[in-house]
Amino acid sequence: MLFDKFKTMADFLAELESKDVKPFGAVTEKLLSSTQGIVNGQNVILAGTNNYLGLSYDARCIAASQEAAAKWGTGTTGSRVANGSFVGHQELESELAAFYGVDQAIAFTTGYAATMGMCATIAGPGDVILLDADSHASIYAGVQLSGADIIRFKHSDPDDLAKRLRRLGDRAKQTLIIAEGIYSMLGDIAPLQEIAAIKREHGAYLFVDEAHSMGVLGETGRGAAQAAGIEDDVDFLAGTFSKSLGATGGYCVSKHQILETIRFTIRSYIFTASTSPSVVASTRKALQIMRKEPQLRSKLWENANRLYTGLKVLGLPVGPTASPVVAVNLEDRNQAINCWNELMGAGVYVNLVVPPASPSTAFLLRNSVSAAHSTAQIDTIIAAYSNLVNAGLISTNKE
């Protein structure tokens, strides 16, 4: 039957309903601040929003958005190549290019459209794409549309990448390597120095998705490539406005002039209505704030290190390194569901991530940290996990 493939998910959703647990599509009924809200009827600390710098609720961004809506209306009603290219879009692209120190930038309506569109377009039939096995769904969606030969290398494994490039021989010069800065599920950081060295050795091209690392890593917040000192080796760099900049949308920047030509061959750009002027305005303001207030990034890392250390001391199976994404890795589905529900009851909202969204077959309690979290809020999150451990609801490395 046509719908048989949905049975596993239907059974899972029915199980959640029977337990009166609603982790997917949780409804935020009221925001009290960038880190506090009413979710599914409960007053909770928001620890699953990717609002890394807390700018989604910044008064300056809100004011810029309101002013733009009053001046330009609520939407563009067209794509960038039709009637939907406003002066604000061009100004945002110029500001992004200046931020990254390159000449070329493209703004997209969503981050998904940016990475999917670029990954579907840069390489094509006869070319090769080598992507990290744990790449985001938008990357996988894009490469599947590209027509290129697709090869996965082991997650964050430079040796495996090098081995596969050697096997390609001369085709390595027609190969696009795809990696991310910070991986969104476990919060680990890609070994970009090693990847860049391999790319140079074989004459390949490098695409880096900085969705979770823009505004988080690097001396000026440009991301993992800046932090690793390999920006000159990156041919295409993509990211999103929906994390550190607290809006929606995505972008790609490049040192290659050909990006302006590529713009007019990206289907997710050509056939999607452009970003609303109010979102463009808040994004531009957030980018300006991020550049002028590096203390936001410092506070973010203070909070991230505090949460990561606190959960690690409890013996919880967290990722390999501290980052604004701190995930607790569980093997049992019922355990993950019950723990998520207990955390909600304790006033802490996190993400429950299940396969296939999570790497491998693990179930994740995914916490995302914000610069706007107070120290007391971080300690409350740690205390909620401590209660799970004390109640025997969650396994630890100490057992």
Q: Tell me, yes or no, whether 245 and 310 share the same domain.
A: no
The structural domain count of the chain equals 2
Last residue of a domain, one of 215, 241, 275: 275
> In 3D, which of 370, 382, 372, 373 has the Cα closest to residue 307?
382
Place of tokens 């494994």: 157
Q: Tell me, yes or no, whether 108 and 249 share the same domain.
A: yes
Q: 10 Å Cβ neighbour count for 309?
A: 14
Q: Which amino acid is at 15?
A: E
Asked if the structure places residue 67 within a domain, the reply is no
Q: Tell me, yes or no, whether 84 and 170 share the same domain.
A: yes
Q: Tell me, yes or no, whether 108 and 198 share the same domain.
A: yes
Asked if the structure places residue 284 within a domain, the reply is no
φ/ψ (deg, to 5) at 357 = -70, -35
Q: Tell me, yes or no, whether 175 and 206 share the same domain.
A: yes
Asked if the structure places residue 304 within a domain, the reply is yes
Asked if the structure places residue 399 within a domain, the reply is no
Asked if the structure places residue 52 within a domain, the reply is yes
Taking only the tens place, the pLDDT of each residue in 250-285 is 999 999 999 999 999 999 999 999 999 999 999 999
Q: Can you give the CATH number for the domain in which 370 is found? A: 3.90.1150.10
Q: Tell me, yes or no, whether 229 and 308 share the same domain.
A: no
Q: Tell me, yes or no, whether 137 and 216 share the same domain.
A: yes
Distance CA 232, CA 226 (A): 9
**Residue 251 bridge partners (DSSP):** 107, 239
Asked if the structure places residue 287 within a domain, the reply is no
CA angle (261 as vertex; 259, 264 as ends), nearest 5: 110
pLDDT at 293: 98
Q: Tell me, yes or no, whether 36 and 123 share the same domain.
A: no
Average model confidence (pLDDT) across the chain = 95
Q: Tell me, yes or no, whether 213 and 306 share the same domain.
A: no
Confidence (pTM): 0.95
pLDDT at 186: 85
pLDDT over threshold 60, residue 399: no
Q: Can you give the CATH number for the domain in which 177 is found? A: 3.40.640.10
pLDDT at 192: 98
Q: Tell me, yes or no, whether 47 and 88 share the same domain.
A: no
Asked if the structure places residue 229 within a domain, the reply is yes
Q: What's the whole-number mean pLDDT along residues 378-383?
A: 98
120: domain range?
76-275
* Pair of tokens at residue 354: 């299940």
Distance CA 162, CA 198 (A): 6
Q: Tell me, yes or no, whether 385 and 344 share the same domain.
A: yes
Q: Tell me, yes or no, whether 96 and 236 share the same domain.
A: yes
Taking only the tens place, the pLDDT of each residue in 138-147 is 999 999 999 9
Asked if the structure places residue 69 within a domain, the reply is no
Last residue of a domain, one of 248, 275, 302: 275
Q: Which amino acid is at 382?
A: I
Task: Give yes or no for a contact between 313 and 240, defined as CB atoms under 8 angstroms apart.
Answer: no
pLDDT at 354: 83
